[in-house]
Amino acid sequence: MVTIELADEVDTQFYTDSVGLVLRDDRSITAQQRKFAYAIMADIAKSDIGGFWAGDNKAVENYFKAKYCLDNDLDYISLSTRLGNRTDTNEFISMLLDFSLAHNVALSRMPINELEGDFGRRFEYSCLINKKCVICGTSKGIEFAHCKAIGFVNSRQKMNHLGWLGMALCHTHHQQQHSKDWGIERFMKHYHLQGVPVDERIAKIYHLHIVKEEKLV
Ligand SMILES: [Zn+2]
């Protein structure tokens, strides 16, 4: 159990009561992380046809390393196995993936196989926001897929989607998810999917019905 005590009074008018907790993993980066980070940067360089980075892997690396340091107030980030650590590398990879999803970069590796825990969930969220299939990466015909059968009681139009776990799938993968041979549970395990709780942003994009809680004044 973790107890967090605040040193000062917090004016709840301006802050929410949620607390983010980041556990740092300072072990050395893995060979898989390193390869994955460089593969995404090569994909970005390759996708930038005629642009500033066009085909220049080193320019992409320099840009994103500088951006990461600036955003996180760091002097340097290293992807070497001697100096790099797992948390920074995972954060760095997440940043590259967010960029790739937002700019339609064709990825050579399937991210969902490379990411773990919170970083996998973060990628799933980014796929929902950018309307990309979490499995094959296509942006064609993206549908919101429920991670649990919604049952007869919940009609899709009337149920409150807030907090329900979902993911972004193309039509083909959505059909696979619902096919008799697969089933949702097996599908989730096979593709290492966790599901993302629906928030207002996701609900708006996929036109999902939500009931907002009345704010107590
Ligand atoms: Zn797909």
163-167, long-range: CB < 8 A, 24+ apart: 163/197, 163/198, 164/197, 164/198, 165/194, 165/195, 165/196, 165/197, 165/198, 166/128, 166/195, 166/196, 166/198, 166/202, 166/206, 167/124, 167/127, 167/128, 167/134, 167/193, 167/195, 167/196
Q: Which residue(s) pair with 117 in the sheet?
A: none
15 C-alpha vs ligand 1 centroid, how far in Å? 38
127 C-alpha vs ligand 1 centroid, how far in Å? 11
Whole-number pLDDT of residue 128: 97
Whole-number pLDDT of residue 216: 58
pTM: 0.80
Q: Which of the four pLDDT bands, split at 50, 70 and 90, describes residue 17?
A: low
Q: Which of the four pLDDT bands, split at 50, 70 and 90, describes residue 74?
A: very high
167 C-alpha vs ligand 1 centroid, how far in Å? 11
9 C-alpha vs ligand 1 centroid, how far in Å? 48
70 C-alpha vs ligand 1 centroid, how far in Å? 34
Whole-number pLDDT of residue 153: 57
Residues with CB under 5 Å of ion ligand 1 are 133, 135-136, 170, 173
Q: Which of the four pLDDT bands, split at 50, 70 and 90, describes residue 147?
A: confident
Cα 110 to Cα 123: distance, rounded to the nearest angstrom: 11
Predicted confidence (pLDDT) per residue in 192-202, tens digit: 999 999 999 99
Cα 121 to Cα 115: distance, rounded to the nearest angstrom: 9
Give the 3-state secondary structure percentages of the chain, helix then strand then coil, rounded to 5.
40, 5, 55
- Whether the CB-CB separation of 146 and 178 falls below 8 Å is answered with no
Whole-number pLDDT of residue 192: 92
134 C-alpha vs ligand 1 centroid, how far in Å? 7
Whole-number pLDDT of residue 2: 63
Cα angle 175, 179, 184 (rounded to 5 degrees) comes to: 90
Predicted confidence (pLDDT) per residue in 137-146, tens digit: 999 999 999 9
Predicted confidence (pLDDT) per residue in 105-120, tens digit: 999 999 998 998 889 9
Mean pLDDT value of segment 13-27: 64
Whole-number pLDDT of residue 36: 96
